Amino acid sequence: MEDIALSYFVIKYFMEKSIKTYLKTAAKDYTSRSVNPPVVRASTILFKTMEELRKHQKDIAKGKDVEHWDYGRQGTQTSVQLQKMLRGLEEAYQVFLTPTGFAAVALSIMSICRPGDEIVISDGVYRPTQKLTDDLLKEFKIKAIWYNPNNFNDLKNKITKKTKLIYVENPGSNTFEMNELGKIVSLAKSKNIFTAIDNTWATAYFFKPLKLGFDISITSATKYYSGHSDVMAGTVAVNKNVYKKVWWYNHVSGYRLSSDDAYLIIRGLRTLDIRLEKHQENAKKIISFLKTQRKISKILYPYKPSSREFKLLKKYYSGASGLLSIIIKSKNKKSVYKFVNSLELFGIGYSWGGFESLAVYTDPVELGIRRYFKLEKNEHLVRLHIGLEDPKDLINDLRRSLKFIK
Ligand SMILES: *Cc1c(COP(=O)(O)O)cnc(C)c1O
């Protein structure tokens, strides 16, 4: 099979230009006069002759990097441009596109695991991932074994002859535990186990999992790639090791990202660097304020230089994003709700990664999705997404609303 992904184009780019320039110049349309690629909406793709159609089929079977597919479900000129762009960003062999971020999680796990296999999975993962592995996959005789993300030895001790996949989300969803990613990759390689990581929090802009040695890097493109809370998409970046497995499951699963949505992700990616740098800068300013507040007992975010989390961040990541949690100590839960309700600049709702700030109260212990994370009595967790508003206004909003906590 030909090396379809790290094409000369991408390699050349990384030798000569920075990622910031890459995001502006990839997926340009050089065939028409517009700066951006066209949105091609298509189910049927037409060929001039039967011979041309057959040749195209053969090229695809050989894994050639075709500019268009033979049927809309496989992709269009628009989604092919997004795939190319993401291959460069992730430095991946190939990137598969899915209609939501969660479909990217499902595609990854279903591509690798079969009845009788075990998945050793981080306790910090996103709730729907827990439902998929613990509830649905159990019915297919695939067992999820949970490890403590703060303790590498716990993970190591849970590996058996049946372990097929180590699945990580870093940092943990809502609870922000940091894994020892390098050790996980080395362990997996020594035992021929596949590795997948949900990298939505940092994105490939701050951390490239495949370069560290992960087989699969998952991103909910709904979040920072889109950046505007107006589209849903997911990406699965793979190395050569798992390419065929993911290609096969993708081929028979019917996942497809629409061309309009693929276009919006290309558009979002143009400013990914600028937005992420600003989310990071704003988050740092908000944290400087939050850590002076006595009603807040803990900030879950890798920011304290002496902490294990910060050291792990520095080891593997070039930056941190705008999502964090705060732990509030209060005997009065209603007053914590009042704090969230009183925020004027923070919307209340799920998802994140858009330009706007968000706040949501959540209790991972009560939801039954954490085996190792504990909240003490009278502790409450509020997740904050720090948006691109002026941080001074965000701090004033937080200061004013924190007064309601009793
Ligand atoms: C949001 C999210 C997903 C799912 O993405 P959707 O696009 O909402 O389906 C997966 N993983 C993480 C870490 C997320 O935050």
pLDDT value of residue 2? 41
Cα separations in angstroms, 169 against 203, 227, 355: 12, 20, 23
Mutate to test the pocket of ligand 1, among 98, 126, 132 (most ligand atoms within 8 A of CB): 126
Distance 383 CA to ligand 1 centre (A): 15
Count of other CB atoms within 10 angstroms of residue 401: 19
Query: Does any ligand 1 atom lie closer than 6 A to the CB of residue 198?
Result: yes
pLDDT value of residue 14? 66
- Pairwise CA distance, residues 203 & 323, whole Å: 12
- Pairwise CA distance, residues 113 & 115, whole Å: 7
**Is-above-0.75 flag for pTM?**
yes
- Pairwise CA distance, residues 184 & 232, whole Å: 30
Query: Does any ligand 1 atom lie closer than 6 A to the CB of residue 353?
Result: no
Closest Cα to atom 7 of ligand 1: 101
Query: Does any ligand 1 atom lie closer than 6 A to the CB of residue 219?
Result: no
Distance 301 CA to ligand 1 centre (A): 18
User: Crossing angle of helices 77-90/8-16, nearest 10°?
Assistant: 50
Query: Does any ligand 1 atom lie closer than 6 A to the CB of residue 234?
Result: yes
Closest Cα to atom 13 of ligand 1: 200
- Pairwise CA distance, residues 253 & 96, whole Å: 12
Closest Cα to atom 2 of ligand 1: 220
Query: Does any ligand 1 atom lie closer than 6 A to the CB of residue 102?
Result: yes
**Which residue, chain included where needed, has tokens 């065939």?**
31
Q: Could you give the domains of the chain?
A: 2-41+76-269 (3.40.640.10), 272-402 (3.90.1150.10)
Query: Does any ligand 1 atom lie closer than 6 A to the CB of residue 101?
Result: yes
Give residue 324's Cα distance to chain centre. 15
pLDDT value of residue 67? 72
- Answer whether 9's CB lies under 8 Å from 65's CB: no
Q: Give the phi and the psi of residue 286 in degrees, each rounded to 5.
A: -65, -40
pLDDT value of residue 257? 97
**Which residue, chain included where needed, has tokens 């695991």?**
113
Distance 219 CA to ligand 1 centre (A): 7
Give the number of residues written for the chain. 406
- Pairwise CA distance, residues 316 & 209, whole Å: 9
pLDDT tens-digit profile, the chain (406 residues): 344 545 555 666 666 788 898 898 887 765 667 888 889 999 998 999 999 999 998 988 887 777 778 899 989 989 999 999 999 999 999 999 999 999 999 999 999 999 999 999 999 999 999 999 999 999 999 999 999 999 999 999 999 999 999 999 999 999 999 999 999 999 999 999 999 999 999 999 999 999 999 999 999 999 999 999 999 999 999 999 999 999 999 988 999 999 999 999 999 999 999 999 999 999 999 999 999 999 999 999 999 999 999 999 999 999 999 999 999 999 999 999 999 999 999 999 999 999 999 999 999 888 888 999 999 999 999 999 999 999 999 999 999 999 999 9
Mutate to test the pocket of ligand 1, among 222, 225, 360 (most ligand atoms within 8 A of CB): 222
**Three-state secondary structure call for residue 190:** helix
- Pairwise CA distance, residues 173 & 105, whole Å: 14
pLDDT value of residue 7? 58
Query: Does any ligand 1 atom lie closer than 6 A to the CB of residue 199?
Result: no
353 phi-psi bin (left φ>0, alpha ψ -120 to 50, beta other): left
Closest Cα to atom 6 of ligand 1: 101
